Structure 1
């Protein structure tokens, strides 16, 4: 069996360890009919490689939920693999499970859970409100996270998902422009891994909003909120999908792998031990990174999943990033963004 995951230890280390144990012949996490050989794609592959195309090569894939809309014809829904009682005891963080439900069917099971949170070097405090972030940015070594799709994802988070609302959208873009003017300009144009690497190396002290990674020696907390609102954030994480290409031959093996990967021993023990970031709700009750960001995870917004969304997300992010760097007035930039969405 062939699988595809993403090229970061959080994405491949737990899976490779299970395969190693399978090949050794005595896997304490349970036996499967045959192991999976896992290939890797860059994190950006979630945006650049359509799931339906990858289904021609792979049996099981680790995906991000926004790509589902254009892929369901190539996937096996979970209802065709499992009876309701098979999955009845599984509980996942936030809306992780719901994010893979589309057109009345469940297309994936959550593997990894993540959302945008605040991050800082130990001893540095990130304000809990956006007005507080604006004030603190005037005197601290701060960075934003605007690389790839993340300029648009920050915009969505700051608007709490109401990015088509004129007032919320303009307020968010004005805040982002003000913060970017105060931030480290080079670090702010990186993706989350790049910003976290810079923070761990001491190049910057804090970032108000980026996707959290439990393995970094940093302090993480809930995303900033507008007064009277829940923390604004956009759900990330990954899920396991199954290709239709060979399902008649490997149905039982696929079932065994998915049940094992979402089981309490694998999610609660193997994942943390190998640098994973589990989706299991029970893990998110543990002290530290998980409990400190749980409120944000529970409130996180689920992105659209219609065909063409990922390309639209990329275009929107580029428009925001270029507009912020060029000093485009928020009203004009918002009008351009809304035109893109109306066309889509």
Structure 2
């Protein structure tokens, strides 16, 4: 009898696809009657493609938690409430909680991330500099780097502008609204956060406004002038030894320290239209296991189990990434997840980027963000 075949979709990076494909032999050993074919798509598609549309064609879907409002309203995913042994304390930060909506769990965290800092240790050593602990020290580092014809770095293309704005707002103690019933942002705090971003850009190459999180890591590993980035969604694989210049990750140097970073990461979901739901649930149970997430980490992934963030062997493989960013991860802020938020996120990211390019005044930006958030 031919095995059940499930189709899965993730995003196109070795952090995403390699853990899934390299762990398949262990799954097949346990479930020889189930096979899985994984496909991938670019990061931009991962951030915005409708989960409802993916659920028409795929059984297993790797997705981001801001989709939870839409999927809980549409019923496009199968709730995972019957998957036993899942509790918040097993996972780092609010990773599991981000996938709960309207009383159900819609995805299992298989990858954990937040906006953290990243450095080029060789360039930091050349500057005789330590990783900054707050924004004031960051700007001092920028000035020191500029005197040596070096730069700070940031990735602010589209949605990444909005995520960094979110992080600064939360760090300053007045986070943006997570429901449409509240005003989007406290104006004085928003002005302060935008001012911090504009000040940072004075020490960054102009092309930083064209970079997403993957491009930011690629540029820092390839170029020899980018010293330090204060806030980017961590790709721990860039700290591995096979990189041209392995990067190092650090807690967020926000205005008040690591608190307030906007959580990212990904979850594993099952389509409500999956014709072999029990087989798909078997894979979810497999992916939830500590041993499986250890295999993920051994193949460039970012485990969501808290125990693995404390594991010495894994930290050694990734240059101490997890240990050095745990405080940030545990103090994360969860961005909005209401039904309709994804349309706001896509449009708002472009507006914040336009402001940082000098194409949209601060008052006009904040007015438009407020109207967009309210659905007007």
1:235 aligns with 2:276: no
1:215 aligns with 2:240: no
**1:171: which partner in 2?**
192
For residues 334 and 19 of structure 1, what CA distance do their matches in structure 2 show? 47
For residues 87 and 226 of structure 2, what CA distance do their matches in structure 1 show? 44
Q: Deviations over 1:194-246 (max 9, x none)?
A: 1111111124111111011111121101011223x653311100001111113
Q: Aligned pair in 2 of structure 1 residues 22, 300: CA closer, same or farther (>3 Å)?
A: closer
Q: Is the 8 A contact 2:157 2:208 kept in 1?
A: no
Q: Aligned pair in 2 of structure 1 residues 137, 87: CA closer, same or farther (>3 Å)?
A: same
Alignment of 1:1-344 (within 5 A): 1-20=6-25, 27=29, 30-31=30-31, 33-72=33-72, 73-79=75-81, 81-82=82-83, 84=84, 86-87=85-86, 91-123=90-122, 124=124, 125-140=130-145, 141-160=151-170, 162-163=175-176, 164-201=185-222, 202-216=224-238, 217-227=246-256, 230-246=258-274, 249-268=275-294, 270-286=295-311, 287=315, 288-326=320-358, 328-343=360-375
For residues 110 and 27 of structure 2, what CA distance do their matches in structure 1 show? 19
Q: Is the 8 A contact 1:129 1:224 kept in 2?
A: yes
Structure 1: runs of 5+ lacking an equivalent: none
For residues 33 and 300 of structure 1, what CA distance do their matches in structure 2 show? 40
SS of the residue aligned with 2:121? coil
Q: Is the 8 A contact 1:32 1:256 kept in 2?
A: no
Q: Aligned pair in 2 of structure 1 residues 105, 63: CA closer, same or farther (>3 Å)?
A: same
For residues 300 and 110 of structure 1, what CA distance do their matches in structure 2 show? 15
SS of the residue aligned with 2:268? strand
For residues 364 and 136 of structure 2, what CA distance do their matches in structure 1 show? 23
Q: Aligned pair in 2 of structure 1 residues 151, 176: CA closer, same or farther (>3 Å)?
A: same
Shift in Å at residue 174 of structure 1? 0.8
Q: Is the 8 A contact 2:209 2:353 kept in 1?
A: no
Report the aligned-residue RMSD. Answer: 2.0
- Superposition TM-score, scaled by structure 1 size: 0.90
For residues 35 and 203 of structure 1, what CA distance do their matches in structure 2 show? 46
The number of aligned residues is 332
After the TM superposition, which of the residue ranges 95-104 and 317-326 deviates more from structure 2? 317-326
Q: Aligned pair in 2 of structure 1 residues 142, 297: CA closer, same or farther (>3 Å)?
A: same
Segments of 4+ moved more than 4 angstroms: 20-23
Q: Is the 8 A contact 2:66 2:336 kept in 1?
A: yes
For residues 296 and 153 of structure 1, what CA distance do their matches in structure 2 show? 15
- Superposition TM-score, scaled by structure 2 size: 0.83
Shift in Å at residue 89 of structure 1? 9.6
Structure 2: runs of 5+ lacking an equivalent: 1-5, 125-129, 146-150, 177-184, 239-245
Shift in Å at residue 33 of structure 1? 3.5
